[in-house]
Amino acid sequence: MGSIFCKERDKEKEGKEFTFIVGTVIFAVMAWKELRYGTGWMPYFVLGSIFFSIGFVLPSVGFIAKRALEKLGESLGHIATPIVLLFIYWCSIVPVGVLQRFFGRDELMIRRKKGLKSYWIPLDNSKNKGNYYTPF
């Protein structure tokens, strides 16, 4: 029975922390907007006050909001990560391959030369002590 109460306290603590952090960020945006532009601070003040009030009165609601925001972030991450990786691939790997092909480089040596029966590259079979220290 003690573990249930412990978990409830942890949920309340996480809910309070989340609502206080979000409320503080909203108040910071309000202060920045007031200092920068001189107007438009009232909606931020109301929203920040709501978050602080929820943190004091109903911290479990803050915990639910935190979990919902985590799930939203995870879903967006599943969508955005492949897009970002595709963009990085197209901006870094593809241009290198296109330039190498343009200049006739064959890094993997996969172009078959006429008259060869296989891709086998003969190696030097000399076995001396130096080859074992630096094998490649």
Domain boundaries of the chain, sorted by first residue: 2-75
- pLDDT tens digits, one per residue of 66-96: 999 999 999 999 999 999 999 999 999 999 9
Quick check: pTM over 0.75?
no
Give the model's pLDDT for residue 33.
Answer: 81
Helix, coil or strand: residue 78: helix
Q: What is the pLDDT of residues 90-134, one digit of tens each?
A: 999 999 999 998 998 888 777 777 777 777 777 766 677 766 666
- Residue 60's CB: how many other CB atoms inside 10 A? 14
Residues 30-41: pLDDT tens digits? Answer: 888 888 887 777
DSSP state of 134: S
- State yes or no: pLDDT of 135 exceeds 50: yes
Which residues 6+ apart lie within 8 Å of 119 measured at CB? 109, 110, 112
Higher local confidence (pLDDT), 89 or 27:
89
Specify the residue for token string 């130096």: 130
The encoded tokens of residue 37 equal 């532009």
